[in-house]
Amino acid sequence: MFDVLVYLYENYWRPDACPDHAQLTRKLSAMGFETDEIEEALTWLDGLANASESYATEQKADSLRVYTASEQEHLGEHGIGFISFLESAGVLPPPMREMVVDRATAIPGGPVDLEDLKIIVLMVFWSLGEEPDALILDELFVDEADRLIH
């Protein structure tokens, strides 16, 4: 599923630039993605669209997030730490944080892999038509082993 999401991010600048589900399914199938992977990704994206509508004005800027036991288990220590890092850096406001948590908990299994969580964060930005700044893109995509320390 995450390969499909990355493909969509790289090839469509916003969700409304994507063709309808039937045409997109055909295109993704032609690109070599499996049918179940495509269906799972499109269902997840539908949930993302619903989340963007419901969380848009629900949270105040100074709200505090307390994770439930099931969220802690599903996100894992590293996932919650990463979300907290993005919040403290000022790039993940509370409504976007809630979208990330919602979409991460929609992934079966757990805890969610940190690399998958980074894709979820990127897709939340994408769904809102926002471009994360260069430092956040670096955090989302550059492997820590490949980082140069100056």
142, pLDDT greater than 60? no
Q: Are 84 and 25 in contact, with CB atoms under 8 Å apart? A: no
CB within 8 Å of 131: residues ≥ 6 apart: 125
Question: What region, left, alpha or beta, does residue 8 occupy, with left being phi > 0 and alpha being psi -120 to 50 degrees?
Answer: alpha
Q: Where are the alpha helices (DSSP H) in the chain?
A: 2-11, 21-30, 35-54, 69-88, 94-105, 114-127, 134-141
| Per-residue model confidence as pLDDT tens digits over 16-44 | 788 888 999 999 999 999 999 999 999 99
The per-residue pLDDT for 147 is: 41
Measured distance CA(69)–CA(27) in Å, rounded: 40
CB atoms inside a 10 Å sphere around CB 38: 20
Mean pLDDT value of segment 126-138:
77
CB of 111 within 8 A of CB of 79?
yes
